[in-house]
Amino acid sequence: MTERTPLIAGNWKMNLGGAKGCELAEAVARAAQAHPNVDVVVAPPSTVIAAIAQISEENGKKLEVAGQNLYPKSDGAFTGEISAPMLLEAGAKWVILGHSERRQYFAESDDFVREKVAASLAAGLRPIACVGETLEEREAGKTLEVVNRQVDAFASLLSEQPGFGVIAYEPVWAIGTGKVATPEQAQEVHAAIRARLRETLGADVAEKTRILYGGSVKASNAAELLACPDIDGALVGGASLDAEGFAKIIQAAG
Ligand code: 13P
């Protein structure tokens, strides 16, 4: 079996877009240096991507920076949008795509997420593509149907460079609710996603693609989730805004 390096990513969402974000990034960069066997990424608001990329440069480059979204054109008349080449130029190496908040509040469809994943890969920006079912879908027994549909929309794009892109499984009912999926619930879906990748794209893509869990991950529950064989890391929201708590999650992955 391929060894997959654990990846802990902090999604700051619309928080800490100024000096406080830079302070947090300094602390996270130190925690990343202390755990060289864990890949560490933060996704701050785009206003501080360049500053945090600079902080990473000054602190051993172990911390990498992600955008939280992109528009799938490289430039042009798209007021308010940011492209993959712009994120790269600002110092980001990653981008979160298809987050459930974008799907929910900005009506992003599976097709649009696919376009975004394609744009990020074409630019050389590593996508963290998010999937996950709502509570209603879970209760209707549709979890795997929904997650497979979302994964199928972009997965074939990941096969050109197996391991370059990452998938995040974030059950919508567990995001920001304090209601974390049990390790068994999470592992079941992660294993199903990997099986789907194996079936549709082959063993190499399935073994090399890291699948992160997201949804109310915190220092106290990270270790048991990360111990599951198909959980290769975490995409952390609220708990990534606290340096000490986030450092403990990084430690739990090491
Ligand atoms: P919380 O960790 O706050 O539940 O958010 C998870 C998330 O949406 C990460 O992308």
pLDDT of amino acid 117: 98
Q: Which atom of ligand 1 is nearest to the CA of 168?
A: 10
Q: How many CB atoms lie within 10 A of CB 149?
A: 12
Q: pLDDT tens, 2-55? A: 689 999 999 999 999 999 999 999 999 999 999 999 999 999 999 999 999 999
pLDDT of amino acid 3: 86
163 residue type, one letter: G
Pocket test for ligand 1, best of 94, 213, 216 (most atoms within 8 A of CB): 216
Strand-strand pairing, 166-169 and 126-131: parallel
Identify the burial level of 88 via C-beta atoms within 10 angstroms of its C-beta, where 0-12 means exposed, 13-18 middle and 19 or more buried.
Answer: middle
CATH fourth-level superfamily of 7-253: Aldolase class I (3.20.20.70)
Find out whether 111 and 84 touch, Cβ atoms under 8 Å: no
Report the distance separating Cα 136 and Cα 72, nearest Å. Answer: 30
Report the distance separating Cα 150 and Cα 129, nearest Å. Answer: 9
Q: Does the annotation count 170 as an active-site position? A: yes
Q: pLDDT tens, 41-100? A: 999 999 999 999 999 999 999 999 999 999 999 999 999 999 999 999 999 999 999 999
pLDDT of amino acid 2: 62
CA 144 to chain centre: 19
Q: Please tell me if the CB atom of residue 238 comes closer than 6 angstroms to any atom of ligand 1.
A: yes
Q: Please tell me if the CB atom of residue 175 comes closer than 6 angstroms to any atom of ligand 1.
A: yes
pLDDT > 60? residue 1: no
Print the SS3 string covering the chain: CCCCCCEEEEECCCCCCCHHHHHHHHHHHHHHHHCCCCEEEEECCHHHHHHHHHHHHHCCCCEEEEECCCECCCCCCCCCCCEHHHHHHHCCCEEEECCHHHHHHCCCCHHHHHHHHHHHHHHCCEEEEEECCCHHHHHCCCHHHHHHHHHHHHHHHHCCCCCCCEEEECCHHHCCCCCCCCHHHHHHHHHHHHHHHHHHHCHHHHHHCEEEEECCCCHHHHHHHHCCCCCCEEEECHHHHCHHHHHHHHHHHC
High-pLDDT (> 90) share of the chain, %: 98
Q: Please tell me if the CB atom of residue 98 comes closer than 6 angstroms to any atom of ligand 1.
A: no
Q: pLDDT tens, 128-179? A: 999 999 999 999 999 999 999 999 999 999 999 999 999 999 999 999 999 9
